[in-house]
């Protein structure tokens, strides 16, 4: 194979004819494949079935002296808070454990800033004319949707393998209308990069003009290695405190991809001062979260070490899937010089950059051939990828055989879209 | 015993000496009793332990073809929506099932009206100068806290045994700033009254000036009889539709007092048009609620009939507790003519009216003697009972023997407070 850039028009035309024929052949298979969302596969769900039966007797339902079957304890049960404090490397006083979804906690945090303001806000954000937000790209579409639903203007900032472009971020936070920033510091969605120590320090040391700047630290993949051993990560709360920003950050995590997506336990960690204010505001919203599920999780996961052992089992399922995708991309696309992609060692995604101006077309072609991809542009604010180049690949859900078929389709579609563009068809 | 109103000052002084002595004797016991919140007791929690082990195998985790262990299905699993549709007497299309608390759904509904507006709102409520709300009193403190946290001005409306004073309500809704109303239509918190058919019809037929008037129908005790058989209730959604107000009402319920408080399943029912808008707004907040807990509940509760049979078991625990309180009040306070109270057949509370101007004092005395009551005034907006007369009694949590001791304390404190007032001490 030869890079498209080195091909003559004749060669490109021949390559296009071949790609078009391959595409038709794949369409004819009537595939129904899905690489669109970061959902664990059935094999992973099966790993945790014992979670459902750890609580059997009435006596089982106590966390120490606390009867988890009744109202109250809005910060969550002590043992579950301790488990999360151990995993995140924060103090137990800084952690609350909640319901089934960290997204819900993130939404609620921004919603409360909007309706009531944060600890250091002059007024609720809904009373402000303009709110801006720093969005490292490519990023997580659901983060961006939260900004969008509250009318927050999103400012994209480029990412590289070390995390967001900190020169740009440091410049942006000089604007007092810039009220916050999304971060997925470990195995970032979708590139899978880990923010470097230097980047994390610079984030913690930011001097935002807004006194109520809100660093949303979504540590969704904090223990989610699929290749290699657990990679320790810095405690952002301590770092922010060290740099004089104790109340700037709120950290989030969950067991959605440790136990069950949608039936796990989410947590939030922040300074005690922040926590006090947030819990006061939350006291109007809930009497408490599902403590039985928290207890179920503690009994099943036991401690950090045991949880990491479970993550190794997940890795055993996920690693072959990721490598099937990476191998497919390497084999089909690398020689053609029309695409680049990330090589993550954890998390749930691969970030693929196809030839500029062909991402939407590639995803549309995939759909035609029965392969559902995340919509092109989704990893960008307002769904707009200025280069129309990025495609998020989620390899976790399909069985490996389906995944191989899906990657084959994806590569043919990326080729076809590139050739259409090069030939100006 | 003689009514205080018929006593001479000398007799009142003697009664006061006796009450004061009784009070000291009770204080000396060092009691630690709690009748403050509507929490089920341990015996009730024990009734539902099998809920914890209905899901054992991976195959158990499917609701038909739906794998409840993965993301998605924000409206909730079909079988659980059907169960709630049957209980509430609404169409399954009108019901969504959610997480562990109807309070959370109620807060979120008001919060979304505040941040985004309702279906027929001209603008989000946070952009309005003034929002007013109708609050039947005595009512549920947590409802009022939701209004308070969003700066909504609460207007109390009196309740009698048939529900809210509808003449007053019909007058109030002529004001376009009046945006909503709280209702607990069956076994109202705290009086335990059931809204009469006429009151419910008049509510459904309201013609509010506000196009986005929001009737918050908290059917918390819809199947919660402790004396006698299940009392059918009207479908408020159909009634509102019949009267040309299809989108005016949102109904809420939960299994908090059917299975486990804080670990049950909450639901919300409203018109399909409302539901579509609310679910769109909720899609930014959550990917879905805990479907495993929904499924667990369906497997355990089975259907409406089986659920009603479980409620009979709860009644078997609750009825003796309520009667212990009612008997104590009857015996100790009725002859004195200083108090009146409700005689509910379901729900979780008794509404006690002590002599005007003595509720706060009575509750303070109770506390001194080791009995925690709901703070006086709590069942009123801003915690202000204009008559300082109402005390909410929650008989469900303490074991019967403790409850008898607590009621004895309460009666002595009510007497002592009344006598202090009558003697102007």
Residues in chain B within 8 Å Cβ distance of A40:
70
Over residues A195-211, mean pLDDT? 98
Residues in chain B within 8 Å Cβ distance of A53:
52-53, 55-56
The CA distance from B136 to A216, in Å, is 40
Q: What is the mean pLDDT of chain B?
A: 97
- Return the residue in A59, A71, A296, A394 with the most chain B beta carbons within 10 A, the one to mutate for interface testing: A71
Quickly count helices (H) and strands (E) in chain B: 13, 15
Return the closest-CA partner of residue B100 out of A289, A241, A321.
A289
Over residues A96-116, mean pLDDT? 98
For B100, nearest residue in chain A (alpha carbons): A290
The CA distance from B57 to A52, in Å, is 8
pLDDT at B1 over 90: no
Over residues B34-50, mean pLDDT? 95
Nearest to B58 among A39, A49, A150 (CB): A49
| Confidence band of A186 (pLDDT split at 50, 70, 90) | very high
Sign of torsion over alpha carbons A311, A316, A321, A323: positive
The CA distance from B82 to B90, in Å, is 9
Distance of CA A38 to the CA centre of its chain: 8
pLDDT at B364 over 80: yes
For A290, nearest residue in chain B (alpha carbons): B263
pLDDT digits (tens, 9 = 90+) for B71-125: 999 999 999 999 999 999 999 999 999 999 999 999 999 999 999 999 999 999 9
Asked if the Cβ–Cβ distance from A293 to B293 is below 8 Å, we say yes
pLDDT of residue A102: 98
Which string of DSSP letters, residue by residue, matches A380-402? Answer: SGGG--TTS-EEEE--SSS-HHH
Determine how β-strand B371-373 pairs with β-strand B350-353: unpaired
Give chain B's domains with CATH numbers: 4-44+308-422 (3.90.1150.10), 58-302 (3.40.640.10)
Q: Are B346 and B360 in contact (CB under 8 A)?
A: no
Residue B388's contacts (CB-CB under 8 Å, 6 or more residues apart) are B356, B357, B358, B359, B360, B376, B377
Over residues B239-254, mean pLDDT? 98
Asked if the Cβ–Cβ distance from A284 to B40 is below 8 Å, we say no
Determine how β-strand A163-164 pairs with β-strand A178-183: unpaired
The CA distance from B128 to B49, in Å, is 48
pLDDT digits (tens, 9 = 90+) for B158-191: 999 999 999 999 999 999 999 999 999 999 999 9
Cβ of residue B37 closer than 8 Å to a chain A Cβ: yes
pLDDT digits (tens, 9 = 90+) for A257-298: 999 999 999 999 999 999 999 999 999 999 999 999 999 999
The CA distance from B274 to A220, in Å, is 33
Nearest to B45 among A37, A70, A262 (CB): A70
The CA distance from B293 to B291, in Å, is 5
Over residues B214-221, mean pLDDT? 98
Residues in chain B within 8 Å Cβ distance of A148:
284
pLDDT of residue A277: 98
Q: What is the mean pLDDT of chain A?
A: 97
pLDDT digits (tens, 9 = 90+) for B319-343: 999 999 999 999 999 999 999 999 9
Q: Is the peptide bond before B342 cis (omega within 30 degrees of 0)?
A: no
pLDDT digits (tens, 9 = 90+) for A17-28: 999 999 999 999
pLDDT at A206 over 80: yes
Over residues B28-36, mean pLDDT? 93
pLDDT of residue A425: 83
What percent of chain A shows pLDDT beyond 90?
Answer: 99
For A46, nearest residue in chain B (alpha carbons): B58
Compute φ and ψ for B157, nearest 5 degrees. Answer: -130, 135
Beta strands in B92-171 (DSSP E): 95-97, 132-137, 153-160, 163-164
For B108, nearest residue in chain A (alpha carbons): A285
pLDDT digits (tens, 9 = 90+) for A113-160: 999 999 999 999 999 999 999 999 999 999 999 999 999 999 999 999
> Would you tell me how many other CB atoms lie within 10 Å of the CB of residue A224?
23
| Confidence band of B425 (pLDDT split at 50, 70, 90) | confident
pLDDT of residue A211: 98
Q: Which of residues 250-309 of B touch A (CB under 8 A)?
A: 256, 260-263, 281, 283-293
Nearest to B285 among A107, A148, A284 (CB): A107
pLDDT at A1 over 80: no
Q: Which of residues 128-167 of A touch B (CB under 8 A)?
A: 142, 145-146, 148-150
Over residues A357-375, mean pLDDT? 97
Residue A205's contacts (CB-CB under 8 Å, 6 or more residues apart) are A243, A245
Asked if ipTM goes beyond 0.95, one says yes
């Amino acid at each position: 194979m030869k890079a498209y850039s080195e091909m003559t028009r004749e060669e490109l035309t021949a390559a296009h004819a071949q790609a078009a024929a391959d595409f038709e052949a794949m369409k004819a298979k009537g595939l129904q494949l899905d690489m669109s969302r970061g959902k664990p596969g059935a094999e992973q769900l099966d790993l945790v079935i014992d979670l459902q039966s750890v609580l059997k007797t009435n006596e089982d339902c106590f966390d120490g002296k606390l009867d988890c079957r009744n109202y109250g304890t809005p910060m969550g049960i002590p043992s579950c808070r301790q488990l999360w404090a151990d995993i995140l490397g924060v103090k137990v006083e800084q952690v609350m454990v909640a319901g089934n979804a960290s997204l819900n906690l993130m939404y609620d945090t921004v919603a409360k800033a909007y309706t009531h303001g944060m600890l250091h806000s002059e007024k609720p954000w809904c009373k402000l004319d303009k709110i801006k937000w720093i969005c490292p790209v490519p990023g997580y579409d659901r983060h961006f949707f939260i900004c969008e639903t509250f009318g927050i203007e999103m400012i994209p900032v480029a990412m590289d393998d070390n995390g967001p472009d900190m020169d740009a971020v440091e410049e942006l936070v000089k604007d007092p209308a810039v009220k916050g920033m999304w971060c997925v510091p470990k195995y970032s969605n979708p590139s899978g990069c880990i923010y470097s120590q230097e980047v994390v320090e610079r984030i913690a040391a930011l001097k935002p003009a807004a006194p109520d700047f809100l660093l949303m630290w979504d540590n969704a993949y904090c223990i989610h290695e699929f290749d290699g051993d657990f990679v320790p990560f810095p405690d952002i709360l301590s770092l922010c405190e060290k740099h004089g920003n104790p109340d700037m950050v709120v950290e989030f995590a969950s067991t959605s991809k440790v136990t069950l997506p949608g039936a796990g336990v989410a947590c939030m960690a922040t300074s005690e001062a922040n926590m006090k204010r947030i819990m006061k505001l939350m006291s109007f919203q809930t009497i408490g979260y599902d403590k039985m599920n928290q207890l179920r999780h503690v009994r099943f996961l036991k401690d950090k070490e045991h949880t990491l052992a479970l993550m190794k089992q997940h890795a055993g399922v996920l690693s072959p899937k990721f490598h099937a995708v990476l191998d497919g991309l390497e084999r089909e696309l690398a020689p053609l010089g029309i695409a680049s992609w990330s090589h993550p060692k954890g998390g749930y995604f691969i970030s693929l950059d196809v030839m500029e101006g062909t991402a939407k077309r590639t995803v549309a072609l995939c759909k035609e051939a029965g392969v559902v991809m995340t919509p092109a542009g989704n990893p960008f604010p307002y769904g707009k990828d200025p280069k129309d180049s990025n495609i998020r690949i989620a390899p976790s859900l399909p069985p490996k055989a389906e995944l191989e078929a899906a990657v084959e389709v994806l590569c043919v579609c990326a080729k076809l879209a590139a050739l259409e563009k090069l030939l100006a068809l």
